[in-house]
Structure 1
Amino acid sequence: MSTDIKKGNGQAAATAPATSNFLRAIVEADLQAGTYERPGLPSVITRFPPEPNGYLHIGHAKSICLNFGLARDYAGRCHLRFDDTNPAKEDQEYVDTIIDSVKWLGFSWEQDGTEHLHYASDYFDQLYSMAEYLINSGHAYVDSQSAEDMAANRGDFSRPGVDSPFRTRSPAESLDLLRRMKAGQFKDGEHILRAKIDMASPNMNLRDPAIYRIRHAHHHRTGDTWCIYPMYDFTHPLSDALEHITHSVCTLEFQDHRPFYDWIIARCLEGGFFQQPVPRQYEFARLNLTYAITSKRKLLQLVEEGIVDGWDDPRMPTIVGMRRRGYTPEAIQLFCERIGVTKSDGWIDMSTLEGCLREDLDPKAPRATAVLRPLKLIIDNFPEQLRDACTAPIHPHHPERGLRQFTISRELWIEQDDFMQEPGKGYFRLYPPIGDKPGNKVRLRYGYVVECTGCDRDADGNVIAVRCNYFPDSKSGTEGSANYKVKGNIHWVSSHDALEAEVRLYDRLFSDPQPDAGGRDFKLALNPSAKEVVTAYLEPGLAAAMPDDRYQFERHGYFVADRVDSVAGKPVFNRVVTLKDSWGK
């Protein structure tokens, strides 16, 4: 998928890149047949219809990329439509974050200067008119059973349902009750409007499904105008038809809902509310990602119980969390394209997502030096006041991006694991003299070759500083450097001008690839090492890092200046992903 995101403005090519996406074959067949050729409308109109009752997650990203991507690739348009029919659970906060997340992912619902941003609540008047029509045409009735009786009479997969005693109500009586429901004369649950289909249907969704319920709740857009609200299965297909959607794409759990989708559109088509052609629903397998959960209820539990630091915690699979972690829109798009679209459920390993992230960041991220677990290195024969200039490429594969500059001094910070008092086989970093054998030599990256002479310990025997001598003619980039052949090459920062910074080492939130499989308590699979906060020393140029700036910290991985807690001159860094996939190794 191109990282140049078009806006569905009719300029995109009508051919799509090859990928495992069965929906493209359907769209292309419809285009060839002229199925949706209508005056003034694109031949492909899709929609992304979230309910504003939570934050979007990586599973939603797949649907976003699919719906907006199809519209873009086939010169169509994609609508953003909020399914806001359950006021008790919805809030403007969720509307705002969903809009922001879709835009951040690189997509737009604008076409030719018109924004196709819609709400189910936009259609409340029309939906209510359709409900009255269904009653008058004998396709709906008001049921006054209790919720318990309705559930009992619905039957199950082994026995048919039983007709409600109110199923034979006259249209006039049902219409009167519906209007009184709308007027607020009844309590929640006292009556409900149901479609009249077939209580013996083997498809439970056709056993007279509810289409309107009483709910005395304040709506974030319509206020207290309504006290009855349409059900999702009623609202969704009719909203699609009102918006001239061509391909209504949803996940596999809605496959059994498709007969009702077709039924309700057909009935309202008979009533003259729509014209042919009408939308068709197609289902695809949802994203199941290892080492993550995407249940809104469980994600809310993580937030409310303080297990994570909010919806935008970088360990969360929410779009806001991934954005704060340092993911890029291009990496997520690449991932969604790479995993394809199928009709069969399966698991996608987290390493696939992380691989797409590395692939996107590697050519983009400038390099930098960071010491995450610092240990003092003292070069005893280095002039105490000398600050010797060193340079390194901003990006090793893009010399045109220039050099970064820093200095080397007598005292440096190195990584703790770059020194070992008793080295094992194959250890080529610093270690002290052993018997008659001198200490090991290593190259300080972009600097000099040094030879370890010993170390300092505190009263408890802990190493607090490593000591060495340097070879003045060994500086990188000089002729003399070729005279020194060493196997070890370690990174460092000068203690006199290093930037002290908080660095948060994030990892996968769960240690089990399927943390909630089989009804298990997912909290038992939490990874205790999913977040570690260290005080690190960074090369001084990183003081200029702005929120969302991404870098490769050489040897460590990719890091981003936290978009919330970073301030001018004092960035806080999050680890985005390690350089290689070493999970479980």
Structure 2
Amino acid sequence: MAAFDADVLAPTLATADFKTIEPHLAQLDKYLTLRTYLGGYSLSEADEKVWTAVRSNKVAVGLIRKAGFANAARWFKYIEDAHPEVKEKAAGPKKADKKGGANYNIGLSNTDNGVVTRFPPEPSGFLHIGHAKAALLNDYFAKQAPDGKLLVRFDDTNPTKEKQEFEDAILHDLELMDIKYVSVSHTSDYFQELYDTCEKMILDGGAYADDTNPEIQKDDRKNRLPSKCRDRPAEESLAMFREMKAGTDLGRTHCIRARIAYNSSNGSMRDPVIYRFPNFKDKEPAPHHRTGWTWNIYPTYDFACPVVDSLEGVTHALRTTEYADRNEQYHWFLENLKLRKVNLWEFARINFIRTFLSKRKLTKVVDTGRVTGWDDPRLPTVRGILRRGLTVAALREFMLKQGPSRNIVTMDWTTIWAINKRMLDPVVPRFIAVEKKDAVAVTLIGGPEPSYKEDRPKHAKNPDVGTKKVTFGSKLIIDQADAASFAADEEITLMSWGNAIVRGLDKSASPIKDLQLELHLAGDFKTTDKKITWLSSDEGNLVEAELWDFGYLITKDTLEKDDELDDYLTPVTATMTEALVDANIAELKEGEFLQLERKGYFRVDKALGKGPEGRAVLFKVPTGGKS
């Protein structure tokens, strides 16, 4: 680190007492003023060392949290929330993973009778990165257990929003994430069983029909008051339930509520609604996309979920911590209905800066043309982030590392993109590109006549990536920005070739059209300040490509509840540069990755010949650091 050495600071923080520690914490706090991490743009060894040292010293922890070291406190909490693996490592060694894979220190209890998990999306939109966490955790636990199973069950109890196209899209996205499930079902498969169960609850005194005005009902629940209908005779409530099923005018004034505890300190236990009519608001009533007009009324999620979980053999239901207050309710339904017990396992939902996950907002930017569709690389949808260039392996690793955390945090995207870069860097081939606009024609004095080709590695450190043909000749092209940085008679390095001396440079011309370089292979590349990329301009050696880069859709880190989306949309979020590229990229297929040296990592969105006017279309992949 520039300001201090972690190897020096960490031992000091670990052992310093109350009298001597404050100057060192002040140094740490000052260094973190404009930084998220100590060692760059992702978790570093320095962060791990210093965080572990602070954690081991109760004096340090207490002062950071209470003595006004705001930046250090922010950093300490962020590492704790966003990187639970650091906390686990500091706590000491864990048992090794039986399968020899990564150990994320997340596990389920009560697994002696097997593990069956379920992923229960509502088919009312496309999966986004928040859903990905739930899906990947369910998949992980199912795969860890012998004969473990993952079920997919669509929670289709609201016909006002749900469509078959969303079901198809969700299953496709699960396949994109390499998630293996054993069956697909729907809550609607159990509508008759749920209806029968509700009738039985009414007859047994566990539920009642309520026609209280919704606003009064809301106030009664808030004030812990019983409904005027709470002591309604079971036969009368059952008759009203059947009126509801028939869709009569009288039935439409009612809902069915579970009779649990109207005065409970837990709001979810205050006689929750378990059956209701769909609320179409200003929309025309529409049929359910699977059951049509068969049903006028539908079970609520809170009622249907525990019942169907039990009926389908789910052993472990994963839920976000937002449902913590409803866990008591979930277990009440199973006990009251004498159904098989289900274990609950909680995890925190995840948010990202400058990102919105609301289906309403996502639908708005799609429908208004701010993005090109649900797979637009600027969207946080599963297909959007994968199209942008996030690998499934990086997505999985990131989510499993977050798994144990119960703290809802707003993550910086740099963390997940840094993991992605770590996975791409050792295996993707390297090529060269020159920006087409104002590309500079170079005559190489002393260059080979005629040109010749050589086999060169696609990756200097990984021969398994293969080789490519590189053309060496006396006619080259280079980037305008490189030429503009040259001084007359300066010695520069042509990467993967040798040194050359700048001749015939006319800086009065802007942009520079051409120049000469005198090949100087005896020169030492260690002595030059500028190492530049280049391409032979021989016929057939260059192809055209579009290089796309994308920014955040919104200008604010976190949208508040009352913020208007239109007020924070970024005016320009996509830029395109036309480039002349090494013709070797013709071998790349859609979805493959490459690195354009000195320009970054890219994913092939359209292979050469498939894009506009036959160009390749390449999307720049963020790396978690500066572009």
Same fold (TM over 0.5): yes
**C-alpha distance in structure 2 between counterparts of 1:455 and 1:409, whole Å:** 20
Give the structure 2 partner of residue 48 of structure 1.
Answer: 119
Superposition deviation, residue 69 in structure 1: 0.2
Q: How many Å apart are 1:102 and its aligned residue? A: 1.1
Q: How many residues align?
A: 519
Alpha-carbon contact 2:240-2:251 (below 8 Å) kept = no
Give the counterpart of 1:432 among 487, 496, 502.
Answer: 487
Q: Deviations over 1:496-520 (max 9, x none)?
A: 43111112112344454x2314744
Residue of 310, 332, 335 corresponding to 1:263: 332
Moved over 6 A (4+): 382-385, 481-484
The 5 Å alignment of 1:424-503 reads: 430-433=485-488, 439-455=489-505, 462-471=510-519, 474=521, 486-495=528-537, 496=539, 497-503=541-547
- Quote the offset at 1:432 in angstroms: 3.4
Residue 348 of structure 2 is matched in structure 1 by 285
Change (3 A) 1:15 1:67: farther
Alignment of 1:379 onto 2:437: no
Instruction: Give the Cα separation in 2 of the matches to 1:464 and 1:210.
Output: 73
Instruction: Identify which range, 388-397 or 189-198, moves more after superposition.
Output: 388-397
Q: Deviations along 1:127-158, whole A, 9 cap, x unmatched?
A: 11101011100111111223233223332xxx
Tell me the equivalent position of 1:559.
602
- What is the CA-CA distance between 1:563 and the residue it aligns to? 5.5
How far did residue 320 of structure 1 move? 0.8
**1:364 corresponds to:** 427
Question: Is 2:212 aligned against 1:145?
Answer: yes
Work out the CA distance in 2 between the residues paired with 1:565 and 1:210: 57
- Deviation of 1:525 (Å): 4.5
Hey, what does 1:131 align to over in structure 2? 198
Q: Residue 544 of structure 1: CA displacement? A: 3.1
Asked if residue 543 in structure 1 is aligned to residue 586 in structure 2, the reply is: yes
2:503 maps to amino acid = T
Deviations 1:403-448 (Å, cap 9, x if unpaired)? 211324444332232123xxxxxxxxx5132xxxxx2222222335
| Range with greater deviation from structure 2 (96-105 or 487-496) | 487-496
| Contact residue 606 and residue 618 of structure 2 kept, 8 A | no
Q: 1:243 pairs with 282, 291, 312, which one?
A: 312
Asked if 2 retains the 8 angstrom alpha-carbon contact of 1:351 and 1:581, the reply is yes
SS in 2 for 1:452: strand
State whether structure 2 residue 103 is matched by structure 1 residue 18: yes
1:147-186 aligned at under 5 Å gives the runs 147-155=214-222, 159-160=223-224, 162-186=225-249
Residue type at the aligned position of 1:324? R
Shift of 1:469: 2.6
Separation in 2, partners of 1:365, 1:64? 28
Q: 1:233 to 1:117 in 2, by over 3 A?
A: same
Post-superposition shift, 1:488?
Answer: 2.3
Find the partner of 2:367 among 304, 319, 322.
304
Residue in 2 that maps onto 1:113: none
Between 357-366 and 522-531, report the one with greater CA deviation.
Answer: 522-531
Q: 1:566 to 1:248 in 2, by over 3 A?
A: farther
Which amino acid counterpart does residue 480 of structure 2 have in structure 1?
A: Q
Shift of 1:189: 4.8
Correspondence for 2:94: none
Task: Work out whether residues 499 and 524 of structure 2, in 8 Å CA contact, stay in contact via their aligned partners in 1.
Answer: no
Alpha-carbon spacing, 1:206–1:517, altered in 2? closer, same or farther (3 Å): same
Paired with 2:449 and 2:102, the residues of 1 have a C-alpha distance of 60
In structure 2, the residue matched to 1:5 is: none
**Displacement, 1:548?**
0.6
Q: Is the 8 A contact 2:480 2:511 kept in 1?
A: no
CA distance in 2, matches of 1:547, 1:187: 58
CA distance 1:491–1:15, change in 2 (3 Å): closer
TM-aligned CA deviation for residue 388 of structure 1 = 3.2
Distance change in 2, residues 1:544/1:52 (3 Å): same
Q: Which amino acid aligns with 1:186?
A: D
Q: Is the 8 A contact 1:289 1:350 kept in 2?
A: yes
User: What secondary structure is seen at the aligned counterpart in 1 of 2:476?
Assistant: strand
Distance 1:187 1:316 in 2: 45
Deviations 1:471-501 (A, max 9, x none): 2x73xxxxx5769953422112233431111
Partner of 2:50: none
- Shift in Å at residue 206 of structure 1? 1.6
Contact map agreement 2:243 2:250 (CA 8 A) in 1:
no
**Paired residue for 1:571?**
616
Match of residue 30, structure 1, among 103, 110, 114: 110
- Equivalent AA in structure 2 for residue 54 of structure 1: G
1:397 aligns with 461
Check if 1:118 corresponds to 2:118: no
Distance in 1 between the 2:608 and 2:203 partners?
A: 59
**180-189 or 57-66, which deviates more:** 180-189
Please name the residue that 1:477 is paired with.
Answer: none
Contact 1:413/1:537 (<8 A) preserved: no
Cα distance change, pair 350–45 in 1 and its aligned pair in 2 (3 A): same
- The verdict on how the C-alpha distance between 1:121 and 1:518 changes in structure 2, with shifts beyond 3 A counting, is closer
Note the C-alpha offset of 1:101: 1.0
Give distance in 1, aligned partners of 2:242 and 2:101. Answer: 49
Picking from 549, 557, 562, the partner of 1:505 is 549
TM-score, structure 2 as length reference: 0.77
Change (3 A) 1:243 1:485: same
Distance 1:220 1:164 in 2: 34
Gaps of 5+ in 2: 1-96, 279-284
Q: Which amino acid in 2 is paired with 1:432?
A: A
Please give the secondary structure, in 1, of the residue aligned with 2:160.
Answer: coil
Letter in 1 for 2:175: K
Measure, in 2, the Cα distance between the counterparts of 1:563 and 1:54: 26
Q: Work out the CA distance in 2 between the residues paired with 1:564 and 1:262.
A: 53
Residue in structure 2 matching 1:60, options 131, 139, 157? 131
Identify unmatched segments of 5+ residues in structure 1.
1-11, 38-42, 111-115, 421-429, 434-438, 475-479
**Superposition deviation, residue 529 in structure 1:** 5.7
Q: What displacement does 1:395 show?
A: 1.6
Aligned CA RMSD, in angstroms, stands at 2.7
1: CA distance between counterparts of 2:571 and 2:362?
Answer: 17
**Alpha-carbon contact 1:146-1:189 (below 8 Å) kept:** no
Quote the offset at 1:20 in angstroms.
4.4
* Partners of 2:446 and 2:368 in 1: CA distance: 54
Q: By how many angstroms is 1:180 displaced? A: 2.2
Residue by residue, what CA displacement relative to the aligned partner does 1:350-396 show, whole Å, maximum 9, x if unpaired? 11101111011112211111224652132164779843324431122
3-state SS of 2:135 partner: helix
Query: What letter is aligned with 2:247?
Result: G
Q: Which letter does structure 1 place at the counterpart of 2:375?
A: D
